[in-house]
Amino acid sequence: MKLFVPHTYSNYFRLCLPGLLFMLMFSCGSNNQNNTPQETPTSGTINISVDESFKPVMDSQIKVFESSFPNAKINVHYKSEAACFRDLTYKDSTRLIIVTRGLTEQERHFYEDSFHFIPNYGKLAYDAIAVIVNNKSKDTILSMAQVRLFLASSDSKMPQIVMDGVSATSTVRYVMDSVLRGQPLGKNVVAAKSSEDVINYVADHPKAIGFIGVSWIGNEDDPDQLSFQQKVKIAAVQCVSCLGETYVEPYQANIALKRYPMVRDVYYILKEDFHGIGNNFVNFLQYERGQLIFKRAYLWPARMSFEIRNSNITE
């Protein structure tokens, strides 16, 4: 069957046809533009959540990364370790976290079943839990037996213990799992809001003992940490692998050789399944520049080999 179009309407279609084709081409072009990824490895914005214990060193890492890639922006949120894992699981905008452990088998199965994708994770560096005391304190040498006694005691005559929270933080988890080995914290343990608040609390309370990540207080080249070191003292803890009765502070060589008894890992966990800023930042942390920043922050790099030499100082 033939379809006849009145002459007046056929002229109308001939006049409108070029405009219709232009609108169709523009629409297709707009859709392609919208489907183009807005993020590349060197441009765009990413939200990451980081264990508050690592704020000093991660601030340095992000500063150098963003100066190297001016079009890349990292919005960092410092919080407890448990909150970092919640962000990774329930917030689509959070694709990377920096914490003190990798994924458990249960978590791997959860991500595989729920998202059909297992986040990538790996070790970046080694950190330590530093024990700090008031400048007026004479107890600057502690055995691990004393540390356990202080942490588990409810005796009011014992020192008051302060940490960055009494639950959900990586410091508390490490103390309960690796130091107390499942034993509950004593009633003498009090919570501060942050690592800096731990330092200030110990500085203001002569009988207090604080537990914080060494990246907050171990870097003698950082002006802020030098000011912290003027407020408190770092205690030496009994070496677990030394011959004889030796006490060591949580400095790099002691962390590297596991002479210091409270060493923990620094991990990244990345759920980015394309090559975006998250992958680029993780590569930065794993390779030379990022590893050197960990080293300058007095942590021990996990991805690069550095030589430790014995030296004698003569006057």
Kindly report which listed range (93-97, 107-111, 280-284, 309-313) carries the lowest average pLDDT score. Answer: 309-313
CA 177, chain centre distance (Å): 19
Question: Is residue 51 over pLDDT 90?
Answer: yes
- CATH of residue 249: 3.40.190.10
Question: Is the domain of 68 the same as that of 177?
Answer: no
Tell me: the pLDDT tens digits for 186-225?
Answer: 999 999 999 999 999 999 999 999 999 998 998 878 888 8
Region class of 192: left (phi > 0), else alpha (psi between -120 and 50), else beta: beta
Please give the share of the chain, as a percent, with pLDDT higher than 70. 85
Question: Is the domain of 134 the same as that of 257?
Answer: yes
Question: Is the domain of 208 the same as that of 61?
Answer: no
Question: Is the domain of 247 the same as that of 294?
Answer: no
Using an 8 Å Cβ cutoff, are 175 and 163 in contact?
Answer: yes
- Structurally, how many domains does the chain consist of? 2
- Cα–Cα distance, 212 to 171 (Å, whole number): 7
Which pLDDT belongs to residue 33? 42
**Numbers of helices and strands, H then E, in the chain:** 11, 13
Question: Is the domain of 237 the same as that of 138?
Answer: yes
Question: Is residue 31 over pLDDT 80?
Answer: no
Is the residue at 190 inside a domain? yes
Question: Is the domain of 147 the same as that of 233?
Answer: yes
Q: Return the top range by mean pLDDT from 156-160, 226-230, 291-295.
A: 291-295
Is the residue at 22 inside a domain? no
Question: Is the domain of 145 the same as that of 250?
Answer: yes
Question: What 8-state DSSP symbol labels residue 178?
Answer: I
Which pLDDT belongs to residue 29? 39
Is the residue at 111 inside a domain? yes
Is the residue at 88 inside a domain? yes
Question: Is the domain of 109 the same as that of 215?
Answer: no
For the chain, the average pLDDT equals 86
Please give the share of the chain, as a percent, with pLDDT higher than 90. 69
- φ/ψ (deg, to 5) at 268: -105, 145
Is the residue at 33 inside a domain? no
Strands 236-238 and 247-248: antiparallel
Question: Is the domain of 153 the same as that of 184?
Answer: yes
Which pLDDT belongs to residue 310? 56
Which pLDDT belongs to residue 233? 94
Q: Domain ends where: 262, 290, 309?
A: 262
Question: Is residue 108 over pLDDT 50?
Answer: yes
Is the residue at 13 inside a domain? no
Question: Is the domain of 238 the same as that of 152?
Answer: yes
Question: Is residue 247 over pLDDT 80?
Answer: yes
Question: What 8-state DSSP symbol labels residue 216?
Answer: G
Question: Is residue 21 over pLDDT 50?
Answer: no
| pTM across the whole model | 0.83
Tell me: the pLDDT tens digits for 130-168?
Answer: 999 999 998 899 999 999 999 999 888 899 999 987 778
Average pLDDT over residues 4-31: 42
Using an 8 Å Cβ cutoff, are 235 and 139 in contact?
Answer: yes
Which pLDDT belongs to residue 306? 61
Amino acid at 197: D
Question: Is residue 11 over pLDDT 80?
Answer: no
**The two three-digit tokens of residue 137, written as one number:** 């304190």
Is the residue at 283 inside a domain? yes
Which pLDDT belongs to residue 20? 41
Question: Is the domain of 132 the same as that of 121?
Answer: no
Q: What is the DSSP string of 89-142?
A: HH-TTEEEEEESS---HHHHHHHHHHHS-PPEEEEEEEEEEEEEEETT-S--EE
- Cα–Cα distance, 192 to 227 (Å, whole number): 19
Question: Is residue 298 over pLDDT 60?
Answer: yes
**Which structural domain, as residue segments, surrounds residue 66?**
44-125+264-301
Is the residue at 205 inside a domain? yes
Tell me: the pLDDT tens digits for 113-125?
Answer: 988 889 999 999 9
Question: Is the domain of 148 the same as that of 215?
Answer: yes
